[in-house]
Structure 1
């Protein structure tokens, strides 16, 4: 069974121990020598690569009996085994995860840039609409001010015409009154015609 990365497996027992075959990994030491038996007295028969997956067959004293990928059955110090996959073995998996995360981040960045661009266009559209409304409001305000000014001028002209009319009315009324007074003064002094007496020659 495959296991994750942790510390080295420390296996030390005083008597031979039989166990079911388990997946282990050689620790990340640069070189791990393997022997033909479970003690330092047995001859070295080769090496295994750091991070290489092996099958644990048996533990005896400070040594573990393993089967390599090539099928060789050898012994190595238990301290050189670990239950977790080595860093070197996990590099391809980690690289794939990094690549996947990078791709996702690139997608998120692209999506965010698209959303920001859309928001920018929306803001520019709203700003243009606001400016258009402001221009229309300013134009209406200008027209309103012009209409009020024109109304003020017309009101002033009307007031002037009313004043002129009143002056003319008073002048006309005064003229009529003056003429009537003059007639009243003149008429009494006009000579009267003598009435003819009827029946006398």
Structure 2
């Protein structure tokens, strides 16, 4: 009787470790998989079509591969959260199906479309700024040309004014008078010295 109790206690003691070991093995063998591109596939409760049908799964749907039964070539999968079922191995693939690829392509296209829209907006903004800079440059060049013309006109007027000043008789007479005045003021200062020297001689 004691031996039976010991056996029962030993079994109860080892049972959690066995379950934990089985879960660990399942987690290690579990990997992402996809349903191949059929319309839908029947799911069975066991590794054969003799087991009852528990549902269907659509083509391209993402599932988790758990294990394979080599005798029947059925694969156990996990789907819809924690549900498990069996289906023929031929319907399971480890590469995304056309439906998944199409969804990924659509997502990538949407992202690229957003990027293209942003780039077009940046291009339009840069084009607008470039047009504004070109307009400012044209205005500056026009102002520079006007400034050059004004400078040339003023220079011509100044040259003409200087030439006309020297051509006027009144100006020439005033200049001769000024020279004569200066010479007349300097001459008496120089001449008396010579006269005084002549007298003593």
TM range (shorter): 0.5 to 0.7
Name the CA distance, whole Å, in 1 between partners of 2:104 and 2:140. Answer: 54
Q: Match for residue 75 of structure 1?
A: 87
Q: Match for residue 130 of structure 1?
A: 141
1:21-46 Cα offsets, whole Å, 9 max, x none, are 3221111223445567767x858946
Q: Does 1:87 align with 2:98?
A: yes
Q: Which of 26-35 and 133-142 deviates more?
A: 26-35
Q: Which of 45-54 and 22-31 deviates more?
A: 45-54
Structure-2 change in CA distance of 1:142 and 1:59 (3 Å):
farther
The two structures have a TM-score, normalised by structure 1, of 0.53
Matches within 5 A, 1:184-199: none
- Bigger-Rg structure (1/2): 1
Q: Match for residue 64 of structure 2?
A: 55
Matches within 5 A, 1:144-183: 144-151=155-162
Root mean square deviation, CA, Å:
3.7
Any idea what SS the aligned residue of 2:68 has?
strand
Name the CA distance, whole Å, in 1 between partners of 2:123 and 2:62. Answer: 43
Name the CA distance, whole Å, in 2 between partners of 1:150 and 1:62. Answer: 117
Q: Is the Cα–Cα contact under 8 Å of residues 34 and 74 in structure 1 kept in the other structure?
A: yes
Higher helix share goes to which structure? 2
Unpaired segments ≥5 residues, structure 2: 1-25, 174-201
Any idea what SS the aligned residue of 1:120 has?
helix
Q: Does 1:108 align with 2:119?
A: yes
Q: Is the Cα–Cα contact under 8 Å of residues 36 and 42 in structure 1 kept in the other structure?
A: no
Q: Is the Cα–Cα contact under 8 Å of residues 66 and 73 in structure 1 kept in the other structure?
A: yes
Q: Is the Cα–Cα contact under 8 Å of residues 41 and 58 in structure 2 kept in the other structure?
A: yes
Name the CA distance, whole Å, in 1 between partners of 2:99 and 2:51. Answer: 28
Name the CA distance, whole Å, in 2 between partners of 1:147 and 1:61. Answer: 114
Name the CA distance, whole Å, in 2 between partners of 1:55 and 1:122. Answer: 60
Q: Match for residue 76 of structure 2?
A: 66
Any idea what SS the aligned residue of 2:95 has?
coil
Name the CA distance, whole Å, in 1 between partners of 2:120 and 2:160. Answer: 59
Q: Is the Cα–Cα contact under 8 Å of residues 44 and 85 in structure 2 kept in the other structure?
A: no
Q: How many residues align?
A: 142
